[in-house]
Amino acid sequence: MAEDLRHRLRFAASLTFCGLLADFGYVMVEAAARFSLDKRWPEAAAYFVLGLWSMFAAFRGASLRVQRELRHGR
């Protein structure tokens, strides 16, 4: 019983972390848009790449975590 609860909490925590990472990526892409409006291209490019990388990492991490759960039948 305790092991199942611990497993569910770890699963929820990992998906929560992935969600926070995706939110961070979204904020970075918004910042890139603001920098591009000010014609600050190097900063805009850096923030855009960081934002896209963060969102990709978040969705890939969540996808792998869910696939692992489905594979093990929990």
pLDDT at 55 > cutoff 90: yes
% of the chain with per-residue pLDDT over 70: 97
pLDDT tens for residues 6-28?
888 888 899 999 999 999 999 99
Q: What is the 3-state secondary structure (H, E, C) of the chain?
A: CHHHHHHHHHHHHHHHHHHHHHHHHHHHHHHHHHHHHCCCHHHHHHHHHHHHHHHHHHHHHHHHHHHHHHHHCC
pTM for this predicted structure: 0.81
Question: What is the residue-averaged pLDDT of the chain?
Answer: 90
pLDDT at 35 > cutoff 80: yes
* Residue 62 dihedral angles phi and psi, to the nearest 5°: -65, -40
